[in-house]
Amino acid sequence: MKGNEAIAEAAIQAGCRYFFGYPITPQNQIPEYMSRRMPEVGGTFLQAESEVSAINMVYGAAGAGARVMTSSSSPGISLKQEGISYIACAELPCVIVNIVRSGPGLGGILPSQGDYFQSVKGGGHGDYRLIVYAPSSVQEAADCVMEAFEASDYYRVPALVMGDGMIGQMMEPVEFKQPKKREQPEKTWAAKGYDGTRDRAVINSLYIEADVMSAVNARMQKVYREIEKNETQYEEYMMDDADICIVAYGTTSRIVRNAITKARKELGIKAGLIRPITIWPFPSQPIADATKKAKAFLAVEMSTGQMVEDVRLAVNGACPVSFLGTTGGIIPNPNQIIEKLKEIKEGM
C-alpha cells in the first residue's frame, strides 16, 4: 500500500470519522482516499477552501467531540499554525499529518526533514507542544497514526505525524493493528448542545486575566511532563558496542542503517543508531545514557541541522556531536554517511 493511503486507512481504522483538507503535493492521496472511503463508514470528508479553514473545521469538529484529522505538506502546515495553537490551548484532541517537502518558501515537492523545528518547537505562537511521531516505514506510519488518535484523546493534546515525500509515496506491505486501547476519559467538555445535565461547554483559548492564563499554562505543562514520561518512543540498532552513535529519524534512519552495516563490515567502524520514533517527546535520556559508552555522536538529517540541536542538548558536552545534512529534496546516500564516519573515526 502507498504510504499516504495507509495513513488514511489507519485513521479510519482508528475511528476517525471527520477529515478536512486542502490539496497540496505530496500528500494528495490522503484526501483523495478519504473522499471515497469516508462515505463507506458513515464519516465526513470535506475539502476546505484553504488550509486555514481546514484546521479551523478540525477545531470545530474536535470541540464537538469527534475523532478528526487533517493532512497537508509544509507550506500548508505553516498556514495551519494559527489553528494548531488555538487547538492546543483549547486542549482539543486531533491528528495532523505533515508529509514534509523541501523549503523554505514554496520550496520543492521532494522529501525533506526541514520542518523539525516547526513540529517540535512550537510552529504557532505561544507555549505549547504537540505529540510528534516520525515514522520510518509505511507500516510504522499506519501504527503511528492509530497511536496518535489514542494518545491525543487521552491527553487532550493534538498529535502530529510527520512523514516526508518518501514515506508518503512509497509502497510497502502494511497490516492494520489496533494499538493498546487506553481507558479514555468521556468527552464531557464537548460542545454538543447544552441540556443542563452538565456544565456548559465553552471551547475557548481566550484567557484575559493573567492568573487564569498562567494557570492554564501550568495545567498544559503538567500534561506535557506526563507525556515526556510515558510517550517517548525510540529504537536502538547495534548500540551495544557502538563507538559512534548516529541519531536519525524517519526516511534518513533507513539509509543510516545501511551505512552502519556497511561501515561495520567493510571498515570495522563500530557505529550504532538511536532512532527517535517520537521527536517530541525527544529521547533525550537514551542519548544521554549512550554517552557513557559512545565516544562521538553524529546527527543525520534532511535539513541544515535542526534535530542536531536536541542531540547536543542531550549529549550536554560529554562528547563531540557532528552533523551531516542534505537539503532541497536530496536524500543522503550511504557512502556520504560512511565518509563522515571515517572522518569522525580518524579524529577520535
Q: Which residues of this protein are in contact with other proteins, per CB under 8 A?
A: 18, 20, 44, 46, 48-50, 52-54, 56-66, 68, 82-83, 86, 191-196, 200-206
Q: How far is CA 300 from CA 154, 254, 293, in A?
A: 32, 11, 20
Q: Report the nearest approach of other proteins to the CB of residue 197 (Å).
A: 10
Number of Cβ within 10 Å of residue 203's Cβ equals: 17
Cis peptide before 39 (omega within 30 of 0): no
Closer Cβ to other proteins, 45 or 282, answer by number: 45
* Beta carbons within 8 Å of 159's beta carbon, 6+ residues apart: 93, 94, 95, 96, 130, 131, 132, 133, 148, 149, 151, 152
- How far is the C-alpha of 156 from the C-alpha of 185, rounded, in Å? 10
Q: Report the nearest approach of other proteins to the CB of residue 215 (Å).
A: 18
* Beta carbons within 8 Å of 246's beta carbon, 6+ residues apart: 256, 259, 260, 271, 272, 273, 274, 297, 298, 299, 300, 337
Closer Cβ to other proteins, 46 or 238, answer by number: 46
Q: Report the nearest approach of other proteins to the CB of residue 125 (Å).
A: 11
Q: Report the nearest approach of other proteins to the CB of residue 204 (Å).
A: 4
Closer Cβ to other proteins, 34 or 62, answer by number: 62
- The DSSP bridge pattern shows strands 131-133 and 278-280 to be antiparallel
Q: Report the nearest approach of other proteins to the CB of residue 327 (Å).
A: 32
Closer Cβ to other proteins, 92 or 259, answer by number: 92
Closer Cβ to other proteins, 85 or 139, answer by number: 85
